[in-house]
Structure 1
Amino acid sequence: MLSITILLGLMNLASAAPYVATNYTNTTLPGRYLPANVTGQTFFNGSCTPETMTIRKEWRSLTHDEKMAFIDAELCAMALPNITDWPGSTTRFDDFQAAHQQGTNTTYGDIIHYTAQFLPWHRLQLHVHETMLKTECNYTGTMPWWDEAIDAASGNFFQSDMWSDTYFGGNGNGTSHLNGTNGQNCVTTGAFANRTEHIGPLEQTTDYCFAREFNQTKGLMWGARANIDACYEFGSADFEAFSECMAFAPHIAGHRATGGIMTDVDASPGDPVFYLHHAYLDRLYWQWQQVSAADRMFAISGNTTVTEPADGWEEMTLDYELSMFGVGESVRMEEVMNIQGGYLCYAFEY
């Protein structure tokens, strides 16, 4: 088990049915990263078919209209009333932030970071969030993702137009205090400008401004492809090793580089960029699974909490129930291991 002190310091923030492997047309764009031994396989199982499978696209592959549809859907969620009773939650968007805060709550021992369910839990969170956007905000697209590796390789971690005033907005503005709320580096550009957060910092519920504090150095360092390759190598035959590696550099990159609320391990879903960052991590996880699907598709190991319970560590199994803390249905771990297994049904464009 990795050191709790190191982890928190760095963040500050049953056999399955056989699958059928086929191929689909894989879009390969110059400079975009795909391991040599992953060739766009699909693993249909159950109700997921080529006709029902959706494709998650990298942000830059979306048309302007597709980008605006996603932005508008998130704005819709920010305008809908909350359905949970979690402290601080006032909207449907807040509900997901509050659920993440509850999952990170050290009272429970933090069950969604640096545990066996880190990658599967966030995979489910993305699915539930996307489903909410579709069913409650009439969104017809899929969850986009942010290819951080190509930005790290470019020398400008923030080169994507996602940071433009038209879309997610850019860096915080230094020391402004908005609407009488606490905070600094408040975001005053883009579709989500001048928002007031109610959840966080950490386990608190306090009103403060939505903030970012860009850090190129951390983005270029932690987001480098070499770190991804290291995780693929380090976790070549072991899920727990792969998951722990992913929780460091690849995970830290988007959070620490974006800064502001994205560095808050509890409240980071307050920045909509959170979802593109974790969709990118889900893609890296799926690539690792595809390399040796017979061994990795349903591989799971490790502890269920960061801190050791009084009655000792509990080893993760595929029967473990992933809780969404009221924002969506809870499901067994096994249901989210194959993203084309029926409960989930999507692929990545590359």
Structure 2
Amino acid sequence: MVVRTLFIIGSILLGFTLGSSYGPETFTYGLLGGLLLGLLGISVLRFERMMFSLQFHEALGGFTGFSIGICLSGITSFLSQQIFLQRPEVVPFVTASTMVGFCSLGLMLGIRMGRRFSFDPVSYGTDSSSQTQQPKILDTSSIIDGRIADLSRTGFLEGPLLIPQFVLHELQRISDSSDSHRRIRGKRGLDILHELTNIETSNVQIVDVDFPQFSDVDNKLVAMAKLHNAKIVTTDMNLNKVASVQGISILNTHELSNAMRPAVLPGESLKVFLLREGKEVGQGVAHLDDGTMVIVDHAKRWIGKHVEVVVTSVIQTNAGRMIFSSLREGTPRLQASYG
């Protein structure tokens, strides 16, 4: 930040010095020169920050717009020489100002136009039908979670699946961690990634892109989603909130899993295996195959056994669904089964 500030100050001082050497109105020309070179310095710094995140089609569009800007500024310089024959000292300022203006405008418009005409593999996959599908960016949590592979195998997930290099690097760092739990998670993520690339119905693309202006992965993912008009697939609630605030569409596999769970209504019967005691006196706790917690009243004495219960109520929480039930009258247990 300090270097950038000094660069802008230096550009202004250089412009003031050069401007002061033209014509009798030393101070006025110095201010004009400082203003022009200050704007040029700001444009250079802005372009320097953008160039690391530009894709090929954007860089090509920016170069084309910049070249057109130079041509227009050259024409304007020639016309100014004919108009200001009596005041030739004005010509350099007109030339400099038009060059800064036309080149900056051409660069910005060129980059924007380049985004509309993508030539990279992200927009043109091997399957022509995927060109019209909105791409999905996979974050680290969705890969480690693993359900994305099952979802992709079913064919419900259309369009290219983009995996940025910085997500791969994060997976590698986790798999090389000294913490055994993190190391297991990282290796699982790499295994899931390998499995994804071998699924015939999935269009997985590794995207070599980075956003050095951001230090954390979440902001990089949001910037990439904006750049490619893509959705983000994640299980991270913090990323979910950050991206949603900035207008990025999120596909949360936890929410999808909850939505796909079979409906359970009060009065229905379930067969469950009681695992442990509940928080309240006499309660037993069981789990369905999809992980849903089942609370059974007055079931402490049957912990470690299979029982038949009747659903009394269902509560949806942020952590998932909870089912409250009671032992079925007359059939408190089916068969003892000690694990």
User: Which bin holds the TM-score, normalised by the shorter protein?
Assistant: under 0.3
Higher relative contact order (CA 8 A, sep 6+): 1
- Give 1 or 2: higher strand fraction: 2
Rg comparison, structure with higher value: 2
TM-score of the pair, normalised by structure 1: 0.21
TM-score of the pair, normalised by structure 2: 0.22
